[in-house]
């Protein structure tokens, strides 16, 4: 592996790790709030902790790694001439828009599975609409935006100050 590819890999991996960590926190909070409930109170949609946990952790880690690849391999060059703040806002808006459709797609597939139905079933679309029009959906998207923004911020600061400068600052190594 070339030194550039190794460096890119070290810059991509934190995106996946961040998503795994923050998804774990979100799932634990959700479990604490819902405890033994079998349905989400706000939407009435089915809730199953075990299945939701595994699917969410795998998909969120993959999503984080995909965002890392796009960020490092494509967006770094595209946003090179933009100011730090402007690039950060534009990137977050792009990624969150993608995540809205991604989350809707995952939910659609999940409802098809839950109802053992197909994409034309009205119950599937009603469940999706209840979810997408709920506070739960939009608060989740806000949380995702914060994860994306934090990951991009960390990546950009690390790239501009050196790969380990911000990391060392956060863990208390000042020498």
pLDDT tens figures, 95-141: 889 889 888 988 898 889 888 889 999 999 998 998 899 888 898 88
Quote the pLDDT of residue 62.
Answer: 93
- For residue 163, the model assigns a pLDDT of 67
Residue with tokens 């070290």: 10
**pTM for this model (two decimals):** 0.74
Q: Which among 80, 73, 67, 71 has a CA at the least distance from the CA of 4?
A: 73
Number of domains making up the chain? 1
Q: In the chain, which stretches have pLDDT less than 70?
A: 163, 175
Q: What pLDDT score does 65 carry? A: 95
Q: Tell me 115's DSSP state.
A: T
Per DSSP, the residues of 21-61 read HHHHHHHHHHHHHHTT-SB-TTT--B--HHHHHHHHHHHHH
Structural domain range at position 36: 3-171
Spatial distance between the Cα atoms of 8 and 68, rounded to a whole number of angstroms: 9
Q: What is the pLDDT at residue 47?
A: 79
123: three-class secondary structure by DSSP: helix
Tokens of 162: 């050196």
pLDDT at 99: 85
State how far Cα 169 lies from the chain centre: 25
């Amino acid at each position: 592996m070339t030194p550039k590819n190794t460096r890119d890999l070290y810059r991509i991996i934190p995106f996946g790790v961040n998503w795994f960590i923050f998804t774990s926190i979100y799932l634990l909070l959700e479990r604490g709030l819902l405890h033994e409930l079998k349905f989400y109170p706000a939407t009435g949609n089915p809730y199953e902790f075990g299945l939701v946990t595994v699917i969410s952790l795998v998909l969120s880690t993959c999503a984080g790694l995909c965002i890392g690849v796009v960020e490092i391999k494509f967006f770094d060059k595209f946003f090179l001439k933009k100011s730090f703040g402007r690039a950060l806002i534009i990137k977050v808006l792009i990624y969150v828009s993608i995540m809205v459709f991604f989350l809707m797609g995952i939910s659609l597939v999940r409802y098809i599975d839950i109802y053992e139905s197909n994409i034309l079933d009205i119950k599937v679309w009603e469940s999706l609409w209840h979810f997408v029009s709920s506070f739960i959906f939009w608060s989740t998207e806000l949380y995702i935006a914060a994860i994306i923004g934090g990951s991009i911020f960390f990546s950009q600061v690390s790239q501009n100050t050196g790969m380990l400068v911000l990391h060392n600052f956060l863990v208390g190594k000042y020498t």
